[in-house]
């Protein structure tokens, strides 16, 4: 497994595994590459992730659970930008990612995109979804 030199890294407040599994289920071409929980020897809950690596399409991402005792929220100034291949993929990702989250920009035509949407998922991660014009 090759990790890119620059990789998106997300820290969750006890929901890293649930978030990763949600994302891997939402994307057609996705997988969990590595997942390690804290052990009983660590000063952290054993159901929290110490480190995880996963892939969505051709993008490798990393995630951990925050164990410092102070919740840290995701920053809405950062988002994951996804170019989708079909209208069906756009609808599936839009529906799954907005579930229990928020629509920041509803699906709309916005040249050069046939459809564009921006959602925040229930974990606080922001996603921009773009379906390009037909080639």
Query: What are 92-120's pLDDT values in tens digits?
Result: 999 999 999 999 999 999 989 999 999 99
Torsional class of 124: left (φ above 0), alpha (ψ -120 to 50), beta (otherwise) = left
Classify residue 128: in a domain, yes or no: yes
- Angle at Cα 97 formed by Cα 121 and Cα 26, nearest 5°? 135
Predicted TM-score (pTM) of the model is: 0.92
Please state, in angstroms and rounded to a whole number, the distance separating the CA atoms of residues 32 and 85: 22
Does 71 reside within a domain? no
Q: Where residue 45 falls among pLDDT bands split at 50, 70, 90?
A: very high
What pLDDT is attached to residue 53? 98
pLDDT range class, residue 134, cuts 50, 70, 90: confident
Are 21 and 55 found together in one domain? Answer: yes
pLDDT of the residue at 4: 83
Q: Is residue 37 assigned to a domain?
A: yes
Domain containing 27: what range? 8-65
pLDDT at 1 over 80: no
């Amino acid at each position: 497994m090759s990790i890119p030199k620059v990789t998106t890294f997300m820290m969750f407040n006890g929901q890293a595994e649930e978030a990763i599994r949600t994302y891997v289920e939402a994307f057609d071409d996705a997988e969990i590459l590595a997942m390690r929980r804290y052990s009983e020897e660590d000063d952290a809950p054993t159901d929290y992730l110490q480190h995880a690596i996963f892939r969505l399409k051709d993008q490798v991402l990393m995630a951990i659970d925050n164990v410092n005792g102070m919740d840290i929220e995701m920053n809405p100034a950062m988002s994951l930008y996804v170019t989708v291949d079909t209208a069906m993929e756009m609808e599936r990702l839009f529906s799954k990612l907005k579930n229990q989250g928020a629509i920041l920009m509803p699906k709309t035509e916005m040249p050069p995109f046939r459809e564009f949407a921006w959602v925040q998922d229930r974990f606080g991660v922001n996603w921009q979804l773009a379906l390009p014009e037909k080639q």
